[in-house]
Structure 1
Amino acid sequence: MNHLEIEYKTMLTKAEFNHLQALLMHVPAITQTNYYFDTDASDMRNNRLSLRIRTFEKSAEMTLKIPKAVGTLEHNLPLTRDEARHIIETGEFPTNAITDLICQHGVALEHLHTLGHLTTVRRECQTPIGLMALDRNQYAGRIDYELELEVEDAEQGKQDFEAYLKDNNINFKYAKSKVARFCATLKKEED
């Protein structure tokens, strides 16, 4: 399944997160863990690709993200938990539409390996302005908080997101993608 993702996001302070969480307590929290993949030579990153396997309590999915002029094209493939565990532990990828795309970008599948993981506790709900997700992320011994809004229309979505932040007294703080924040911790470990 392919899907063009247009989203706006901001990092949150713990106080801002607590404020928004109080507004969303009626939404059940879901825990998901993202496992990120690349080669030792960073072939995925160098091709501006992002590959993850996301596991949930009873299911999993593989996602390849490819940036576009507006938004990011996501290619998603459902996996069983056992299929996901096998890939994460062995680095052996079954042939599928996602692995075909990776190969088309010149990345050798046999060189891909798990870089590590990031666990998110997410409260997600559809709102009049788009699909809102409030995330508490834990990775590499740290915790951060972010708010995401996924929209259909980039211009209207930007205005709605800015208005929502203003209405909730939240100052916009630039948020790199989860994979970029995770990978930044790897670079610090190498230094």
Structure 2
Amino acid sequence: MAQEIEIEFKNLLTKTEFERLLNSLPFPAQPQTQTNYYFETADFKLKENGSALRIRKKQEAYSLTLKQPHREGLLETHDPLTDQEAEQWLNGQIVMKQHVRRQLEALHIDPENLIYFGSLTTERRELNYKDVLLVLDYSTYGDTADYELELEAASAEAGQRMIDEILSGYNINKRETPNKIKRFFREKMDK
């Protein structure tokens, strides 16, 4: 599938809160590592459109993903990349793919203007729990590391109920949690 709607909830965690969830719920003992490589134009046209573009390397496979706002969450458009294509992207030689190209054209963004800004690496643990996907992430980018609870649900109502239940049940404060790309760029621009 080239597109999907993602309904997710996020909450930044302290290290202690992260460990409490990790030790209290049946998350896998070993994380899976994934790296996100972020792209933007020099004048931040993607951000201006509420969008984000990344290549994700997960289990030795690369995927190009454009995230855009959608009334129910985020619209994600995906295209697979070969190892060689991903390397070309990272070296400034944009190899545009069918589905993402179509979406960028609708945003009036020329792929030739895309610039690689850097990467964020995440150690991720996933758990299917009460009809939602719970995700514990430990991410590093630049000089920053953070801990995060993500929750993906079939509906906004189910997701809101579950995130409230977990935060309340484990005595975790609700925190404003920008998505990873926003945190990455904030850290990058603060330097």
TM-score tier (shorter)? over 0.9
Mapping of residues 1-191 of structure 1, within 5 Å: 1-22=2-23, 23-189=25-191
| Inter-partner Cα distance in structure 1 for 2:22 and 2:75 | 29
Q: What one-letter code is carried by the residue in structure 2 that aligns with 1:31?
A: T
- Given that 2:38 and 2:116 are in contact with CA atoms closer than 8 Å, whether structure 1 keeps it comes out as yes
The count of corresponding residues between Structure 1 and Structure 2 is 189
| Inter-partner Cα distance in structure 1 for 2:18 and 2:97 | 40
| Inter-partner Cα distance in structure 2 for 1:9 and 1:49 | 18
Q: Deviations over 1:29-80 (max 9, x none)?
A: 1100001101111111112211000012411111110111220011112222
| Inter-partner Cα distance in structure 1 for 2:178 and 2:123 | 18
Gaps of 5+ in 2: none
- Given that 2:28 and 2:127 are in contact with CA atoms closer than 8 Å, whether structure 1 keeps it comes out as no
| Inter-partner Cα distance in structure 2 for 1:74 and 1:19 | 31
Q: Secondary structure at the match of 1:115?
A: strand
| Inter-partner Cα distance in structure 2 for 1:80 and 1:158 | 37
- Given that 1:55 and 1:81 are in contact with CA atoms closer than 8 Å, whether structure 2 keeps it comes out as no
- Given that 1:27 and 1:125 are in contact with CA atoms closer than 8 Å, whether structure 2 keeps it comes out as no
Q: What one-letter code is carried by the residue in structure 1 that aligns with 2:10?
A: K
Identity %: 35
Aligned-pair Cα RMSD in Å: 1.4
Q: What one-letter code is carried by the residue in structure 1 that aligns with 2:5?
A: L
| Inter-partner Cα distance in structure 2 for 1:26 and 1:181 | 26
- Given that 2:34 and 2:122 are in contact with CA atoms closer than 8 Å, whether structure 1 keeps it comes out as yes
Q: Which moved more, 1:157-166 or 1:141-150?
A: 157-166
| Inter-partner Cα distance in structure 1 for 2:175 and 2:93 | 35
Q: Deviations over 1:93-134 (max 9, x none)?
A: 234110121022111111101011110000012111401110
Q: Secondary structure at the match of 1:26?
A: coil
- Given that 2:79 and 2:97 are in contact with CA atoms closer than 8 Å, whether structure 1 keeps it comes out as no
Gaps of 5+ in 1: none
- In the superposition, the TM-score normalised over structure 2's length comes to 0.93
